Structure 1
Amino acid sequence: MRKLILLTILLAQASYSFAQISYEKNFNTALKKAAETKRPVFLNIGPISKSTVKSAINSKEVVQFYNKNFVNYAVSFPDSEAAAFMRKYQLKMLPAYIFLDANGTLIAKGAKSSSASKHYLDLANQALNKHSSGSSLADYEEKYKTGNLSKDLLKEYISARQQLGLSDNAKLIDEYVDFLTIGAFNDYNEVLFVLRAGPFAYGKAYKLAYTNRKIVDSIYKTLSLRERIDLNNCIIKNTQDEAVATKNSTLANSLSNYVRGTYSKNYTAANKQATYLLLNYYKAVKDTNNYYRQAQYYYDQYYMKITADSIQKVTKKLQDKKDSVTIASKERVAAIEKKYPVTATRTTYTYTSLSYNTDPAKSLAMILNNAAWDFYMLGTRNINYLTKALLWSKRALELSPTAEYYDTMAHIFYRMQLYDEALLNQSKAIELAGKQKNAKDRLVRFKAAAEKMKQRQL
């Protein structure tokens, strides 16, 4: 009898351990089912690597609640679909927990994996309450589409988007300021609201906000450094996106001037960033003549001049900073553990921030390789441009000899009709890729390119 009871307990524990949210096979199926059942969609975007913290998302109560109240779909980064979701919903951390209506409109979102079931249940209830409140983003979008606009409606709509981390509100703020009088820009909070919406640089809303320069100056003195950076970045991104979408070179140049003004007396950094934005604009609108001309100056001026000594200094500085942060983090953890012993219930959170490689040498190599590859992909056959790309490619390989960078150099040599050198470098790319884990797809691609090079069919 005891053995039977023990077996029952073990089976119950196994069932709890393997409880899992039921996910649909694809996103379109999830949206269709959400429309049919009138339930929101829960979109689980997983991190790049598994967390060391045990997540409570598969606890029995969370699984039951999510399966009952949501249509669920999961995808993991860096899958291309996950990347598309992250761009659309402007996500910066993983894992990301997104709640949508049947049209794919954002209801609520959260991040951080947690060891507490309450974390996931609170997120879910927040989404359900918002969905049924009549004041969700979808509700505001429907009201906006009717065309019966007002100052209050636009302010609430913009605020709702901002609360969900959606910063592309430049067109909405241009509509909003039409309902304001000039006197309204004597109000600190009104001017701050306009600037935080990310108006187009030197656009209508931006110019109206700056009619009271005293208040604008006060805002920039009052806000924290992080807030000022976020405000400027929002204006920059919205303006850049609009310039590209409309192929508006005047707007792109206005943005370049705006960026120069955001730097105090660091003229080198200001010119570098302003040039970079123009370069991105030319590339995006396929203005190749201006792109090739601007790119040569940009990469030679700001990257090819970086010496080995300067790289070592930056590397040491970053390592010292990393060590300092690690020590501080360990001290905080030790303090928490002392205050809340491991015997007590303590919720643990974890997340992965989306960031680029912080190794200066590898970062520089990646930048120069990408620049060389861009010249190749844009199709130039100008020997001067190809020679420039070859120099960047060579420098990238000196800093970080990887399979991908040898592949880039091989393609440039091929375009220059230096076929033996092309095959030699492509063979090196194949050799290095063969030694890498999870490089099967790259190896197939490199071998296919080598065969085309041999046949003169690339």
Structure 2
Amino acid sequence: MYRFFKIFFFLFSACFFAQDGIKFENETFQNILNKAKKENKLVFMDAYASWCGPCKLLERNVFPVKEVGDYYNANFINSRFDMEKGEGRDIARKYGINSFPSLLFLNGNGEVVFKGLGYMEVSDFISMGKDVLDPENKLEKRIEKFHAGENNPEFLMKLMKDTSQNDFIFAQKVSERYFKVIEKNELTKDDAGILLYFTKSTDDENFKIFEKRKPELLKIIPENVLNDFEKQLRLTTIIQKAIDYTNVKIDNNYLVTEATKVIGDKDAKTLSSKLRKDFYFNNKDFSEYEKAAVEYYEVPVDFSAEELNKISWDFFLYVSNPSSLQKAVDWSLEAIKKQEDNINTDTLARIYYKLNDKKNAKKWAERSIELAKKNNAEYTSTEELLKNLK
């Protein structure tokens, strides 16, 4: 009996005291924004995932606390959404949420005013809410301070974090000033991570810091990781310079010449053919796409059945050159060797059909239907092809 009352009292207390904490709205996201606009308040949103440990700790240790409820209920329209269910999925996409918990403060138009991350204690959680409402801490005000020359390292660090998701280019400028300010300080692990995150090209100002302080970085980051990062950075810069988006062209000579200096001739040519294949396909330049794909899939045994079938199918759809279609036959045969199913055999039948090789087209169409029947798969379109061959 004692044990029963103990459990009962615990459950009763949990329910009772939970009423003193944050009161979350049970409304759609749009209705919550409308309410915030009407009441001239900001929205506080707990963007969580059901499996997230820190999210559960916030829910258990912070949200039910009376002091927290008093402040947040008085000053914000409070909401919670599971980012992996229902409307939460759209919210996660809209705001680029991939870390949990994400603690968003939004105005009535749905614009992010502030974003916090991770678990925090009650005092820090309340301080965050107060900081958000402090006029001096508003993002617009802090951006003005930055442009006016503010160079306090803590200020710059916070501004970087608060703008990195929505305005990376601006946050990158903030990071550049930050590293100039701390140039005489020893780099911390956080500094190293920030430097790598905001260095996207060898033309960036931060890359100069990277080269200058590489000996320090090697004390924090394994040499192979740092070398791979630098190699990828150099390749990314070369690719960016090789692509002419205005004229939808790639300077292949520049790409191969420069990439060879980083990864060697063979890998540079492979990189070039893959990049051109994807770029020209996406831009519907199927003539250039065809040339690049023939180069890239020169040795079909190196690729999976799925990838070989996809490239073969794309050639069936977009390529007319008989010699290139014969390449697609080779790819398709290799795909079947790796994985014979009704899909791969259907693709081969259609390529033969396009080559006007009706004998082989009929053979592989019949084989595709046979495999489809065996696996209870759909084969109506293959039957239509077979009818055209009779």
Do these two structures clear the TM 0.5 threshold for a shared fold by scoring above it?
yes
Alpha-carbon distance change, 414 to 262 in structure 1, aligned in 2, over 3 angstroms:
same
| Equivalent-residue separation in structure 1 for 2:57 and 2:226 (angstroms) | 32
Contact 1:30 1:41 in 2 (8 A): no
| Equivalent-residue separation in structure 1 for 2:314 and 2:370 (angstroms) | 22
Q: Which amino acid is the alignment partner of residue 89 of structure 1?
A: G
Contact 1:256 1:275 in 2 (8 A): no
Alpha-carbon distance change, 258 to 388 in structure 1, aligned in 2, over 3 angstroms:
same
Note the aligned Cα RMSD (angstroms).
6.2
Alpha-carbon distance change, 105 to 163 in structure 1, aligned in 2, over 3 angstroms:
closer
Q: Which amino acid is the alignment partner of residue 41 of structure 1?
A: M
In the other structure, the counterpart of 1:288 is: 286
In the other structure, the counterpart of 2:329 is: 390
Q: Which amino acid is the alignment partner of residue 367 of structure 1?
A: E
Alpha-carbon distance change, 216 to 394 in structure 1, aligned in 2, over 3 angstroms:
farther
Alpha-carbon distance change, 172 to 12 in structure 1, aligned in 2, over 3 angstroms:
closer
SS in 2 for 1:372: helix
Alpha-carbon distance change, 253 to 209 in structure 1, aligned in 2, over 3 angstroms:
farther
* Structure 1 length-normalised TM: 0.51
Contact 2:62 2:121 in 1 (8 A): yes
Alpha-carbon distance change, 231 to 424 in structure 1, aligned in 2, over 3 angstroms:
same
| Equivalent-residue separation in structure 1 for 2:156 and 2:315 (angstroms) | 42
Post-superposition offset of 1:371: 3.2
Structure 1 residue 276 corresponds to structure 2 residue 284: no
Number of residue-to-residue matches in the alignment? 355
Alignment of 1:59-70 (within 5 A): 70=78
Alpha-carbon distance change, 164 to 270 in structure 1, aligned in 2, over 3 angstroms:
farther
Out of 86, 89, 98, the residue aligned to residue 96 of structure 2 is 89
Alignment of 1:70-81 (within 5 A): 70-76=78-84
| Equivalent-residue separation in structure 1 for 2:247 and 2:170 (angstroms) | 16
Q: What is the CA deviation profile of residues 262-310 of structure 1, one whole-angstrom value per residue up to 9, with x for unaligned ones?
A: 44xx654454345433433333333322222112112225xx254xxxx
Alpha-carbon distance change, 194 to 60 in structure 1, aligned in 2, over 3 angstroms:
closer
Out of 349, 367, 371, the residue aligned to residue 307 of structure 2 is 367
In the other structure, the counterpart of 1:197 is: 198
Alpha-carbon distance change, 133 to 393 in structure 1, aligned in 2, over 3 angstroms:
farther
Highest Rg: 1 or 2?
2
In the other structure, the counterpart of 1:425 is: 368
Contact 1:151 1:176 in 2 (8 A): no
Alignment of 1:59-458 (within 5 A): 70-76=78-84, 85=92, 89=96, 91=98, 96-100=100-104, 101-102=106-107, 103=110, 105=112, 107-108=114-115, 128=129, 131-132=132-133, 139=139, 149=147, 160-161=159-160, 166=165, 169=168, 197-200=198-201, 203=203, 205=204, 215=212, 224-225=221-222, 226-230=225-229, 233=232, 243=243, 249=249, 259-263=259-263, 267-301=265-299, 304-306=300-302, 364-376=304-316, 379-401=318-340, 405=344, 408-409=347-348, 412=351, 415-416=354-355, 420=362, 421-422=364-365, 424-425=367-368, 428=371, 432=375, 434=376, 446=378, 449-450=381-382, 453=385
Contact 1:368 1:395 in 2 (8 A): yes
Structure 1 residue 41 corresponds to structure 2 residue 49: no
Contact 1:409 1:425 in 2 (8 A): no
| Equivalent-residue separation in structure 2 for 1:97 and 1:39 (angstroms) | 16
SS in 1 for 2:43: coil
Q: Which amino acid is the alignment partner of residue 199 of structure 2?
A: G
Identity %: 13
Post-superposition offset of 1:39: 0.8
* Structure 2 length-normalised TM: 0.57
| Equivalent-residue separation in structure 2 for 1:62 and 1:381 (angstroms) | 65
SS in 2 for 1:76: coil
Q: What is the CA deviation profile of residues 91-127 of structure 1, one whole-angstrom value per residue up to 9, with x for unaligned ones?
A: 4x8xx4444435354954768xxxxxx6798997797
Q: Which amino acid is the alignment partner of residue 71 of structure 1?
A: S
| Equivalent-residue separation in structure 1 for 2:130 and 2:230 (angstroms) | 30
